[in-house]
Amino acid sequence: MSERPPGQDQAAAAGTPADRISLLEEAVRREQKKVELVQDVSRALSSALELDQLLVLIMEKVTQLMDADRSTLYLLSDDGKMLWSKVVQGGEVFEIRLRVGEGVAGWVAQSGEVVNIADAYNDTRFQPAVDLKSGYRTRSILCLPMRGIQGGIIGVLQCLNKQDGPFIAGDEELLGALASQAAIAIENAKLYHSMVASNVELSFAKAQLEQKTKELNALYEVEKELSAAVDLDELLERILGQATLVLGAAAGSIALREPDGQSLRFRVVVGPVATKLLHKHLPLGVGVIGWTVARRQAVIVNEPTGDFRHAAEFAKDLDVVPRHIMAAPLIDADEVLGAIEIIDKVRPAPPGGIGRAPTEDDFLDEPPGFDETDLKLLVLKAIGLARSRSEQSNKDRLASIGRMLASVLHDLKTPMTIISGYAQLMAQTEELGQREAYVEHILRQFDIMAGMTREVLAFARGDADIVIRKVYLHRFLDEVVHQLRHALAGRGVRLEIDARYDGTALFDEQKMLRVIHNLARNAADAMPGGGRFRISTGLDGDDWLVFEFADDGPGIPSEVQSRLFELFATGKKGGTGLGLAIVKKIVDDHHGRIQCDSGPDGTTFRIQLPRHRVQEAEAAA
């Protein structure tokens, strides 16, 4: 049964027609205002406001429409146990939280029924805690549930203190209609913002996927370059070039640790100072790249000036002022092999190709430098490069096995030829003493052959089976002359001995014979047209025995000199790269020193060996 508007009752009670018309007009105006407010609420509910803004607007319009003192909209928590609402009172924001079942609003949320109370303080469900806290006086209450599209309760809408008396049935119907619309709008708003949040998550996931794709591409490029590279240097050049291009850098370098472990040598360089920096040495720990190797830690230095890790003097000598530096260590298992360093972020990547000098145009929009994403890609490059270098080194080692065996077989020809010669001489003589001398020479050659094979095997295992004995140099040099005359026969090489010291010494005689054989063979290879090979001995104070080995060859190529004693380093076509590496290891095992002086007039190797025994404690140190 519908109710008549309050204005009609008042008009009926009025005395004159004019009074009744005035009252009716006032009632019509109130109804028109309600229609306008309903339209405002509808427009608000259809807007895409933030949820908090939407709730405030709904409460404001509902309060006006219901002619109430204030309204409160409670939302049900996701777990269905709590109601919460933010209420604006006197310019202050109070957050009200109620347990379902607590207070009038909690009872409505639990029961799903409408509550219309004329006097709140006479109802046991009413809790005056908010009134006591705020100083507000609640009289009448109209409270009803808000149901969503599926029919479930999503909240409670409550109006307090109607201006002209208690809330009536018509108010319940109007507020119920508003509550239904508000519930739908709130669910839509939640859905909209959930979709926005999902889109943000999708965008983040997309960015992560793109980053992972870049990382996988980085690893793929490393594998591709590995398969295309012929040797280690080409592999390093390919990886470095690809890294500078992908990271948009103007320059870069790869430095590897020297055998002494205390310095780095720039093995590959791209950029404007490549020719100056290539093969230069840097002490371990010096510069950003040296710090990276020493600390085993990747690093970004976007403002090198003033940074303690930046080697300013080293850069000054190269006439460069880097803007940004990024470096990552090359770690294989537990060993730090070196590091890769990238210099100067440019935007975009250099269009003129890898390694060209940046122009002013590259820096018109100065980039902020490298970031964590760049560093992650560089670390992936470093990981792949370290593993690839290890694999490439293994390939080089396997490929060198054939060359090593060929070299050993070649070296064995000399003692085998000598053995054959002495065997023939034995067959031609019947003198017992002479035959015994030939047997001794043959057994000596067998010892030499066994020593050669043991030396190569020990070197491959990294063993240091040095047997230090007292050696009479004059006898040792006689044996050297005897062996080298046979080894150098027919090659046009004149052997000279200058024994400035021929007393006693302490060293492994067999190992030092291997040193001399390798140096003599290299000297003969360097003088295909013949020449002079000179061996001299002397003393350096009381502590060092000195051997010098000089030839008249054209000298060692400059590109080989910086890595002369590295494994597999060779400047000879068809060379194994083992000879000088073996020489260096034998000298090191003796706790000695070796130097090389090479030029167009010849090459001289200077070896210093301790004259006194090195104690075990000193050797360990």
**Distinct helix (H) and strand (E) counts, the chain:** 17, 19
Same domain, 490 and 551: yes
Residue 522, classified by CB atoms within 10 Å of its CB into exposed (0-12), middle (13-18) or buried (19+), is buried
Tell me the C-alpha distance between 480 and 539, whole Å.
19
When divided into structural domains, the chain yields a total of 3
Same domain, 356 and 475: no
φ, ψ for residue 10, nearest 5 deg: -65, -35
Question: Of 255, 253, 273, which is closest to residue 263 (Cα–Cα)?
Answer: 255
Tell me the C-alpha distance between 75 and 58, whole Å.
13
The proportion of the chain whose per-residue pLDDT surpasses 90, expressed as a percent, equals: 20
Does 138 fall in a domain?
yes
Q: Which residue has the higher pLDDT, 570 or 441?
A: 441
Structure tokens that stand for 134 in this block: 């705020």
End position of a domain, from candidates 350, 365, 397:
397
Does 210 fall in a domain?
no
CATH of the domain at 349: 3.30.450.40
| Tens digits of residue pLDDT in 206-243 | 665 565 555 455 555 555 555 444 466 777 787 788 78
Q: pLDDT band at 107, cuts 50/70/90? A: very high
| Tens digits of residue pLDDT in 140-187 | 999 999 888 788 898 899 999 998 889 888 888 888 887 887 787 777
Residues sharing a CB contact under 8 Å with residue 386, sequence separation 6 or more, in sequence order: 330, 331, 332, 337
Q: Which residue has the higher pLDDT, 434 or 36?
A: 434
Q: pLDDT band at 429, cuts 50/70/90? A: confident
Same domain, 366 and 509: no
Does 7 fall in a domain?
no
What is the average pLDDT across 430-443?
Answer: 79
pLDDT the model gives residue 348 = 47
Write the DSSP assignment of 326-344 as a string of letters: EEEEEEETTEEEEEEEEEE
Same domain, 266 and 368: yes
| Tens digits of residue pLDDT in 16-68 | 777 666 666 655 565 565 556 556 656 655 554 566 676 777 777 788 888 88
pLDDT the model gives residue 499 = 92
pLDDT the model gives residue 381 = 63
Q: pLDDT band at 368, cuts 50/70/90? A: confident
pLDDT the model gives residue 549 = 95
Q: Is the pLDDT of residue 518 over 50?
A: yes
Q: pLDDT band at 504, cuts 50/70/90? A: very high
pLDDT the model gives residue 41 = 59
Q: Does the reported pTM lie above 0.95?
A: no
Same domain, 247 and 393: yes
Q: Which residue has the higher pLDDT, 96 or 422?
A: 96
Domain residue limits at 380: 229-397
Q: pLDDT band at 357, cuts 50/70/90? A: very low
Asked which of 273-277, 341-345, 426-430 is least confident by mean pLDDT, the reply is 426-430
Q: Is the pLDDT of residue 14 over 80?
A: no
φ, ψ for residue 444, nearest 5 deg: -65, -40
Tell me the C-alpha distance between 614 and 213, whole Å.
57
CATH of the domain at 471: 3.30.565.10
pLDDT the model gives residue 567 = 56
Same domain, 368 and 490: no
End position of a domain, from candidates 366, 397, 428:
397
Q: pLDDT band at 351, cuts 50/70/90? A: very low
Same domain, 236 and 375: yes
Same domain, 130 and 264: no
Q: Is the pLDDT of residue 583 over 50?
A: yes
Same domain, 328 and 373: yes
Q: Which residue has the higher pLDDT, 106 or 57?
A: 106
What is the average pLDDT across 94-105?
Answer: 86
